Amino acid sequence: MIVVVCPGQGSQTPGFLSPWLAEPAFAERLSALSAAAEVDLALHGTHSDADTIRDTAVAQPLIVAAGILSLGALLADGRSGGIGGIAGHSVGEITAAAGSGVLGDEDAMRFVAARGRAMADAAALEQTGMSAVIGADETELLTRLAELGLEPANFNGGGQIVVAGAVDALEALAAEPPARARVIPLQVAGAFHTRYMAPAVERLAAVAADLAPADPTLPLWTNRDGSRVDSGAAFLDLLVGQVSSPVRWDRCMTSFADAGVTGIIELAPAGALVGLAKRGLKGVPTVAVKTPDDLPAAFELIDAA
């Protein structure tokens, strides 16, 4: 069983869409996605610098659009029957919603554009940040976070947990980390997937109320707890609440294993999730679709399943 995975914020790099936009069909499709998001995705995916595309309001629609483009290329020759399921990490869940038919592509872009703006505005209210903690005992780390008023934001598996909260508390964690742990500050705008995002949840709920989700046509797993979701309406509710709740990618990978995963294909801008799979799903073949040149390897993985 092949599972398609959709990356989250931080996976973007300057110019990463250039190889895709060399194909006129992809450029035309991106133009429609840009119009829905009201963001110039071609400009940001080809010419904008790292600081510009780090902006949450830019990064999120850019990542989802890249995922929609690369998924369309992956399935263009009728290979959808070879896909056994789909899931996304953080904002990648919106890509997964589009890929599974819960949301139409344009609705997904409107939703992610609203999400990016709402989260950027919420992040601007207080000085917060995020750090990756690698190698810590989970119980010891959670105790230390509670002492500092920090929260776990992403349980990524393979011994990696991303934590978030006030900048001074993150500095205190780095100064006195749990035993055998490394603390790596991340270049993000704020404490995503924590209580600091509550204002964004309220705004997204209003946006979601105007959407008409369909039930997924592919097995679809949620970041909330790694469970499979069969209702489009329920998945949309989870997308709204997920903004201020932790990403349980570790549990998603456990669910993939339980379902009998035999291969992982990560959509553009790919790399991070296949890296986690190599640690959390050892021995499972992976393909990162960074550019159109990576598609033949993905086709081969699907055809061999």
β-partners of residue 286 are 264
- For residue 244, how many other CB atoms are within 10 A of its CB? 23
Exposure letters 120-129 (e unless 16+ CB within 10 A, then b): bebbeeeebb
| Tokens 């456990």 belong to residue | 254
193 in active site = yes
| Tokens 């640690």 belong to residue | 279
48 in active site = no
Q: Look at residues 81, 60, 20, 61 and name the one whose alpha carbon lies nearest to residue 289.
A: 20
Which of 90, 100, 131, 244 is an active site residue?
90
Which of 11, 193, 245, 255 is an active site residue?
193
Q: Is 169 exposed, middle or buried (0-12, 13-18, 19+ CB in 10 A)?
A: buried
Pairwise CA distance, residues 133 & 83, whole Å: 33
Alpha-helical segments (H) within the chain = 18-21, 24-37, 41-46, 50-54, 56-75, 92-99, 105-123, 138-148, 167-175, 198-208, 232-242, 249-259, 272-280, 295-304
Residues 6 or more apart in contact with residue 263 via CB below 8 angstroms? 1, 2, 3, 284, 285, 286, 287, 301, 302, 304, 305
Q: Which residues are identified as catalytic?
A: 90, 193
